[in-house]
Structures are given as C-alpha cells and as structure tokens.
Amino acid sequence: MPLLVLEEGAPRCLDCADLGHLVFLPRGDTALTRRSREESALSAVVVRFNRRKSRYERQGILVEEAGLARAEQRCLADAEARRRRRVRDARRRAAEDLRFTEAFAAEIRRLFPGCPAERARVIAAHASVRGSGRVGRSAAGQALSEGAVVSAVTASVRHVDTPYDQLLMSGVPRHEARRRIGAGVETVLRGWRSGRARVG
C-alpha cells in the first residue's frame, strides 16, 4: 500500500510532500527507532487507521537513509549491553509478577477463606498476566482492591464451576447465559466466603 501524507486534509504522495527520499522503518525495535530519529534531520510517523477500533495505530517511522545507517551502527556497538539489560529487566519483571500474583492469591484467600489454596493461585495467576488487560493488571487490581479481586474470582467461578461456556457455545446470548448461571455462581461464592470449600 503506497504511503500518503495528509496536508490540509488532502492526501499527497511522499514525493509531492518532499518526503520521498525517506525510508520506512517498521515499529518494533525501540532503540533503533529512537536513534534513527535522533540521527535524521527529517522524520515522520507512519500511522494506519484501524476501522474496527476507530483509531490510528502507529506502524513505524520515515527517516533519512543515512540516519538509519548511523543508528544501526550505534545499535550494533552496544547490542550486547542492551541484551544483558533486557535479560536483567525480564528477571526483575518476573520477580515482580511472582510477588504480585502471590499477594493477589493471599487477598483472594482473605476474602474467600473457603477457596482452595491452589485454586486461589490459579485465579491470581490468570488475572495478573502482564499485558493481558485482565482485571489483575488494572489500576484497581494492582491496588488489590476488593472489587477487582471479587471480579477475578467471580469470572473464574463462572467459567470453571458452571456451564456458562457451554451455553455461550450453544448460541445463548451472554446476558441470558449469565442470568441462568447466576444462582450457581453465588452459591459457590457464598460457600467460599463463609469458609466452606465447595465439594463436587
């Protein structure tokens, strides 16, 4: 797909907009992107409109070819140092995630003492996956708010302890499926809150 520039609401080709000498650098390498912009006297952000989400999404940048070459040399020069830093950062995030999952599981057990310990760990691990967008990664979840914890537990009970998923797969609308299994979900939650783990 050819790249176009919007000028005063009208699309223009890159050559018409005096950007034809620039090269496209796809998104993905943060260091290379940052350094390419630093090394280029002229650069432009490339976006694409996502109709499904009704928003523009960044695809990469246009930079000067010589600037890109200099940026690549800079990246090659410290590639090993950046690799080691990524490894350290990954270990740090993994340790942070483990501590948070354990704290989330402990809060589940505090609010629902009848929830089996292993089930609490499974719920916490699922809810707190980094980048998942699930309730555990929300601001409320990070704060271990009661609402977020209850939401995570309720979702787990809905999917694991009731025929909710089967109802959805059979074509039952979501709101109707939730209505049908509502009493079953409350029964499990009530038992867990009172300290009685459900049997069977």
Q: What is the DSSP letter of 141?
A: H
Helices 174-193 and 146-160: angle between axes, nearest 10 degrees: 110
- Per-residue confidence (pLDDT) for residue 69, from 0 to 100: 94
Q: Which of 22-26, 99-103, 195-199 has the lowest mean pLDDT?
A: 195-199
Share of the chain above pLDDT 70, in %: 96
- The domain limits of the chain are 4-77, 93-193
**Residue 200 confidence (pLDDT) above 60:** no
**Residue 154 confidence (pLDDT) above 60:** yes
**Residue 198 confidence (pLDDT) above 60:** no
For every residue of 83-97, DSSP letters joined together read HHHHHHHHHHHHHHH
